[in-house]
Amino acid sequence: MIKKASKEDTYSYSGWLNSDKFLKRAFAITGYNAVAALVVYGIILAVVIVFFIIFGLVGLTSVV
């Protein structure tokens, strides 16, 4: 049986958050944070656009 020369992670699950390498874990957290921010800001933007469409059209029709 031949052993590999490189050091393997100690966990059987090879996800980035369970890695032994600090940079790999740091980039995983940064990536999850960026995706979460995009989702939250996307929802806020959608609500604001709907708000402006509803109240913008109401404001235009009341002037005429």
Residue-wise pLDDT tens for the chain (64 aa)? 565 556 665 667 778 888 889 999 999 999 999 999 999 999 999 999 998 888 876 666 655 5
pTM: predicted TM-score of the whole model, two decimal places: 0.60
Name the residue with tokens 């469409």: 53
Q: What is the pLDDT of residue 18?
A: 85
Q: What is the pLDDT of residue 40?
A: 98
Taking the C-alpha atoms of residue 39 and residue 28, their distance in angstroms, rounded to an integer, is 17
Alpha-helix runs per DSSP H in 1-64: 22-63
Q: What is the pLDDT of residue 61?
A: 63
Q: What is the pLDDT of residue 62?
A: 58
